[in-house]
Amino acid sequence: MGYSKRKSVIALVLVILITAGLACAAIFGITIGDTTIVASVTDEKNGIKRGLDLAGGSSILYEAQIEGELSAEEIDSGLNSCVAMIQQRLTNLGYTEATVARAGDNRISVEIPAVTNPEEAVQKLGSTAKLEFVDSDGNVVLSGSDIKNATSQYGRLTEAGAMQHFVELELTDEAVSKFAEATKNMAQKTDGKNYIAITLDGEVVSQPSVTEEINSSTCVISGNYSQEDAEWMANLIKSGQMPFALKEVQLSSVGPTLGEKALEQSLFAGAIGIVLVMVFLIVIYKMSGVVASLALMTYTTLVVLFCSLFQINLSLPGIAGIILGIGMAVDANVIIFERIKEELRAEKTVRSSVDAGFKRALAAIIDSNITTIIAAIVLKFLGTGPIVGFADTLLIGVITSMFTAVIVSRLLLKSLVGLGLKSIKAYGA
């Protein structure tokens, strides 16, 4: 069934207008009142989120070192409190946009976006702050859970001493008596053996000697600390002791300038790629190529729009996926155009060739796209990190390309036929 001239003009104008409209929506976003319906490409909060490899930042994978026999529930709750504590610690450090999540059976993933010095953040986070008071016999006297509060202070510790920064610990009621008993024990020891070491993650930070029983709800960690050190240590102790020691098993940090460069260069590559594909299509397929190029613009616009609607986490491989998709999207068009050329060579009219071309090509297009969809789904579920982002954009790309090639190209080509473009040369035959 062909289109009349009027219908053809309307269809052509509509496709161009809708594509332009969608492009505007994608670039500027649509907001009615306070609700964002379509987020602009630059709106990272509601739309496309830039992955850490583009925005700069760190992603770290920790593995909990689970010791001893623990039930599944104990491990589970332990890991959950680790997550909460890391989140707390990050917030204390000012990384409010960081995310922490469980990953797998015994791992925790941390993502800190947009840090100028990612390694510094990691270093601070990496301190696991397992606080212990150990006496000279190696007995653990107090641990993190015995500490009610920790504050950094500045003052004299003894009347004659110099002003210095130190950390004051407030003990729980139960801990006060434990501490009293331990100090009583230690005070009886000979010199050199009468100390209680304060350790953080097994490292001695302070080793005061004990000369008398201390029955007080506070005690002090002192050393040659700067104000920053003291504040940091207090914070560390306050945000609690992790149930498990955490080992960094994977880390990836990208500085913001490198990420910015990666994004710019990828977009440039994409733009050149699109132009080259369009030139190729027009040279080979003439008017059909123009149609395919228009469909390609609709495709690119739609993909950007979908990425924004589904709030895709756009990684560097994700961009590669979109660009690859542009090349692949043309495939369905090529299949159809080749079919149309064959029909034309068989001396059919342009109108029936276009119809037959689309009809015959459809089965092949669906079959071939389904395999790419299968591959993308396998990647989505078995892949890790940025690769999942690639699977997402590839999926969106393949599905969108079927739509634009089959529906949009068909509409446009039929319009051209309807407008009276009958020379078979115009279709590249």
Partner 1 sequence: MKKIRFDIIKNRKIYYIVSLVIILAGVIGFVVNGGFNLDIDFTGGTTMSIEMGEGLDRAKLDRVETVAEQVLGEKPSVVQKAGDSESLLVIKTKELDTEQRDTLFQAIKEEFSLAVEAPESTENVSATVGEDIRNRAVLSVSVAAVLMLIYISIRFEFMSGVAAVVALLHDVLVMLAAYAIFQIPMSSTFIAAMLTIIGYSINATIIVFDRTRENRKKDFKRPFEEVAEESIWQTMTRSINTTVTTLLTITMVYIFGVTSVRNFALPLIIGIIAGLYSSIFLSSSIWTSLRGLRRKKKAN
Least CB distance to partner 1 at residue 203 (A): 11
| Inter-residue contact 1 to 8 (CB < 8 Å) | no
Q: Tell me the two tokens of residue 359.
A: 């009809």
DSSP assignment of 151-199 equals EEEEE-SSTTSPPEEEEEEEE-HHHHHHHHHHHHHHHTSPTTT-BEEEE
In the DSSP assignment, the letter for residue 71 is -
**Angle at which helices 5-28 and 409-418 cross, to 10°:** 150
| Inter-residue contact 168 to 150 (CB < 8 Å) | yes
Rounded distance between C-alpha atoms, residue 83 and residue 65, angstroms: 14
User: Based on CB atoms, which residue is closest to partner 1, 143 or 199?
Assistant: 199
| Inter-residue contact 354 to 340 (CB < 8 Å) | yes
User: Based on CB atoms, which residue is closest to partner 1, 14 or 378?
Assistant: 378
Quick one: residue 311, left, alpha or beta (phi over 0 = left, psi -120 to 50 = alpha)?
left
Q: What is the dihedral of CA 64, 66, 72, 77, to 10 degrees?
A: -50
DSSP assignment of 99-140 equals EEEEETTTEEEEEEES-SSHHHHHHHHH----EEEEETTS-E
User: Based on CB atoms, which residue is closest to partner 1, 234 or 394?
Assistant: 394
Question: Under DSSP, is residue 95 helix (H, G, I), strand (E, B) or coil?
Answer: coil
Rounded distance between C-alpha atoms, residue 253 and residue 110, angstroms: 12
User: Based on CB atoms, which residue is closest to partner 1, 280 or 403?
Assistant: 280
CB contact burial 176-192 (16+ within 10 A = b; e otherwise): beebeebbebbeeeeee
Q: Tell me the two tokens of residue 26.
A: 């994608």
Residue 16 class from Cβ within 10 Å (0-12 exposed, 13-18 middle, 19+ buried)? middle
